Structure 1
Amino acid sequence: MRLPVFGHVAFATVIAACLFVCENGHSAEVYGLDPGPVELQSVGPMTFGPSNVLFVGDPKAAKVYAINTEDSGKSSGQYKVDDVGAKVAEAFGVAEVTIADMAVNPETGHAFVGLNAGGKGHLARVAPDGTVTPLNLDKIGHAFAVLPNPPEDKEIKRGRRSMNPRTQCITDVAYTDGKVLVAGLTADESPSGVREFDFPFRDSSEGMSVEIYHAAHGREEDYAAIQAFVPFNIGGEPSLLAGYTCTPLVKIPVARIGETQKVKGTTVAELGNRNRPLDMIVYSKDGTQYLLMANSARGVMKISTD
């Protein structure tokens, strides 16, 4: 299977400043990002879109935010930061933080982390030397989309286990071809879902439920949330490669979102049980594309897409 990723200094300073203001003003104007406070109830998956715009999932609020980071310049070097959690906690003046996700701005190479502390979500930029700069959310260009039909924010029992399905209403986020794709649980009878939002945020689909055949369980399933996914063109068809708990790797056609209430994914690999995919990226080397998948109970997997 092939899966088709003097004056000179002063003048230069002024030009750079103008470019920065124009670019970020362009982001705010074109993408409808109005300045104002952003109060994140939680931070979940994040990804960058165009023009320094960071998409942030807020599962507790059942919203996806588009935030103008106003990021500029270029990263000065490779990252090697020890004990980043402690550095982030110190920057926010708290004893403990939970880092939810990290996203790298493809235009600058700067790393941004999303974290939860003190019952709220926060964002920060981390430099290669470990310097942590909190993002001021009191007045920042932003817009948001509300998830249709999210699960209630309450604990439920499923067999011997208790869980709050709201925490999994946003399990991964991606931006591709002017659209924001969101995976997670819904309040539908078949809760495993994928939603699609136009960006700038205008229209959204009700999304679709996804059913897969899980070989390790020996049955069809439509209740487990996608844990991580990447957009991928497979045989000329826009698709998602999605990983689930117990690690089935599934192909899901993107074109069907909004056209049908339920779609059947195609399992292309089974990568082992008692494991949860944490994140997935695609990269190219010597003309071949590879998938890298980080896992909860296994090392990073490198998967050829040939």
Structure 2
Amino acid sequence: MRQHAVDANTKRETNMSKQNKFAITLSVALLIGTSALADTSLDIKFAGALEFAEDGTLFVGDNYNGAIYAFDMPATGGPEQIMPSSIANIDAKIAELLGVGVHAIELNDMASHPITQDLYISVTRIGSSASRPAIIQVTQDQQISLVDLASFDFQKQGLMEFPEGETTFGVRGMGPMPPLTRDIAKGEIPLRTLAIMDMEYYEGELFVAGVAHDNFLSSLRRMPFPFDGSQGITNVEMYHITHDQYESRAPIRAMSVQEIDGKPQLVAAYTCSPIVLVPLEDIQDGAKIAANTIMDYGNGQPLDMIPFQMQDQTMLLVTNDSRSPQVIPISGLQDAKVVDHNDFERGGKLDLHPVMPYGPVGEAVMFDGMSMHMTQVGEGMLASITRDLYTGSLNLDTNPTWFPNRIHNMKAEFDFPDYAPDPTRTQ
């Protein structure tokens, strides 16, 4: 799951909120403790990217400490059926649970437990001088609680070649225009906030996308689980159609392992929004590889990549902070043409360029509002933390994969009180 980096000094903690008034069960605990598997202190500084293994192990990426934690969260059973649901103002409810104002939290990622189908949300609480992490659980009966991570057995894997220095992003404006205040603020964000962007568990291994070193190298890490201290680091370069250049700094933002052309490959999305394939067999320690560019949507930043089943085939739902979600059939990626600079006229390409979007991009689907984080729940449902376009509220909605929307903002023919289908004019 994709994580959202946060600058802990950009917000100030508000006064403690009033006593909880909504009907949910709350459990409060500190995120400190000692592992039962190893003599290692549980000292999470940042809860970012989340990923579950099929047995219920929860992986939590800590970009500040340069570590990945694996919490053993077994379960005996889950719900018989998952129904559509909606929790309004989920950010306000989480903030009240944590005792801070709604503007003093960041929701970084979300993942669903593969057995219970409960949702887990990684959160940053912003204080006056430092930030504190939290993991929030939302059950299928809409109970919200703060997870006591210290109550679970866990393992910890430190990241080698972690960018521990004070390197920050460069400051730039849009083209020839000078940078604005927010552009300058971006230049103060440390590089290590991109150390763990997404994680994918596959057949006993954890694949981690992010940056390594202090020289902005886009990397894929590969480590066995259970952790044994070993990991491989592969530097990744790819050709970016819209930018018309080969890029080795900006990391993969979202990814999924799929069987393509007869072998397991990472389907991976980058900012401005190329999609590449990386065969798992190429991800070897110390290797420098070129990912295979097969498509490009254009400007925008990918958020999540979610595999699901529809029409008797595997699909990928790719969300983006600037575009409607895109559904890509895996069948369309088989034998896809791999391209480089020789396949296009030179120069950058904006969205209206005749060649854009390029490749087997699938189909854009309707989505009401803006999905900040999305994950599959069960076989046929998607959960999304969604910003409502009209009210600005942040809601946690669960909807079917075939139509992942609420309809409260739409006024269609079906909504009029005297509506009835006319059988004489329809087939």
Shift in Å, 1:128: 3.5
C-alpha contact 2:232 2:286 (8 A) present in aligned 1:
no
TM-score by length of 2: 0.61
CA distance in 1, matches of 2:55, 2:150: 21
Shift in Å, 1:197: 0.9
CA distance in 1, matches of 2:38, 2:229: 18
Match of 2:47 in 1: 43
Unaligned runs of 5+ in 1: 1-31
CA distance in 2, matches of 1:237, 1:155: 38
Q: Are 1:88 and 2:100 counterparts? A: no
Q: Deviations over 1:105-161 (max 9, x none)?
A: 111111111111141111121024432111112342111101110112525242536
Q: Are 1:284 and 2:323 counterparts? A: no
Shift in Å, 1:284: 1.6
Shift in Å, 1:260: 4.7
CA distance in 2, matches of 1:216, 1:149: 30
Shift in Å, 1:61: 0.8
Mark the CA change 1:57 to 1:192 in structure 2 (over 3 Å): closer, same or farther.
Answer: same
C-alpha contact 2:119 2:137 (8 A) present in aligned 1:
yes
C-alpha contact 1:237 1:253 (8 A) present in aligned 2:
yes
Mark the CA change 1:35 to 1:142 in structure 2 (over 3 Å): closer, same or farther.
Answer: farther
Partner SS for 2:284:
coil
Match of 2:228 in 1: 202
Select the residue among 327, 338, 352 that pairs with 1:302.
327
Moved more, 192-201 or 114-123: 114-123
Moved more, 132-141 or 233-242: 132-141
Unaligned runs of 5+ in 2: 1-35, 173-183, 332-427
C-alpha contact 1:114 1:122 (8 A) present in aligned 2:
yes
Select the residue among 196, 199, 215 that pairs with 1:173.
199
CA distance in 1, matches of 2:279, 2:237: 12
Structure number having the greater strand percentage: 1
CA distance in 2, matches of 1:204, 1:269: 33
Match of 1:138 in 2: 150
Select the residue among 253, 269, 283 that pairs with 1:243.
269
Q: Deviations over 1:168-195 (max 9, x none)?
A: 0000011001001100011165600000
Shift in Å, 1:98: 0.9
Partner SS for 1:90:
helix
Mark the CA change 1:197 to 1:48 in structure 2 (over 3 Å): closer, same or farther.
Answer: same
How many residue pairs are counted as aligned between the two chains? 275
CA distance in 1, matches of 2:76, 2:97: 21
Who wins on radius of gyration, i.e. which is larger?
2
CA distance in 2, matches of 1:204, 1:113: 28
CA distance in 2, matches of 1:164, 1:190: 11
Partner SS for 2:86:
coil
Q: How does 1:90-105 map to 2 (within 5 A)?
A: 90-95=96-101, 96-105=104-113
Q: How does 1:18-57 map to 2 (within 5 A)?
A: 33=37, 38-57=42-61
Shift in Å, 1:228: 0.6
Select the residue among 99, 108, 115 that pairs with 2:116.
108
Shift in Å, 1:36: 7.6
Partner SS for 1:283:
strand
Shift in Å, 1:164: 1.2
What percent identity do the matched residue pairs reach?
Answer: 29
CA distance in 1, matches of 2:218, 2:50: 19
Match of 1:58 in 2: 62
Match of 2:402 in 1: none
Mark the CA change 1:189 to 1:155 in structure 2 (over 3 Å): closer, same or farther.
Answer: closer
Residue 272 of structure 1 aligns to which amino acid in structure 2? G
Residue 93 of structure 1 aligns to which amino acid in structure 2? G
TM-score by length of 1: 0.83
Match of 1:7 in 2: none
